[in-house]
């Protein structure tokens, strides 16, 4: 029953992995050339698309760990985040300031979400 389904598999990572009714995925903005607001809007849009891809949606987020390299981005991130989170369905959330692997990225999200049908 608990088969593993992988989406967007490369030699380094999968875009998303689903097992036991739970999806695991990580997102950084597709375009690190955007400013912080642009990156934050983009990465959250990517999250929506990924949720749709794996059979989940914004109402099924379980936990999001947010890595923000620049502490001064927090206010901007929170404004966009708060408007994005569906009312009554906020996930568990941690926010850490740490450097990311590639220069230019202002955010990386580590996400756990439930599938809709399970």
**Exposed e or buried b for every residue in 90-103, given b needs 16+ CB within 10 A?**
eeeeeeeeeeeeee
Least Cβ distance, residue 76 to a copy of itself (angstroms): 13
Report whether 108 contacts 28 (CB < 8 A).
yes
Q: Does 22 bind a copy of itself (CB under 8 A)?
A: yes
Scan residues 55-74 and list those touching a copy of itself (CB under 8 A): 60-63, 65, 67-68, 71, 74
Number of residues lying near a copy of itself (CB under 8 A) = 53
| C-alpha span between 47 and 43 (Å, rounded) | 6
Q: Are 21 and 76 in contact (CB under 8 A)?
A: no
Residue 30 DSSP label: S
Using the rule CB under 8 A, is 118 a contact of a copy of itself? yes
Which residues contact a copy of itself by CB under 8 A?
A: 1-2, 4, 6, 9-17, 19-22, 24-26, 60-63, 65, 67-68, 71, 74, 78, 81-82, 85, 87-101, 108, 110, 112, 114, 118
């Amino acid at each position: 029953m608990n088969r593993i389904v992988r989406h967007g598999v490369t030699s380094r990572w999968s875009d998303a992995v689903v097992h036991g009714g739970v999806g695991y995925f990580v997102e950084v903005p597709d375009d690190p050339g955007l400013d912080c607001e642009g990156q934050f809007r983009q990465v959250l849009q990517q999250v929506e698309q990924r949720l749709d891809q794996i059979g989940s949606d914004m109402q099924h987020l379980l936990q999001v760990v947010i890595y923000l390299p620049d502490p001064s981005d927090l206010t901007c991130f929170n404004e966009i985040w708060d408007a994005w989170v569906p009312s009554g369905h906020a996930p568990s959330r941690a926010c850490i300031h740490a450097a990311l692997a590639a220069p230019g990225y202002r955010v990386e999200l580590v996400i756990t979400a439930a599938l809709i049908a399970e």
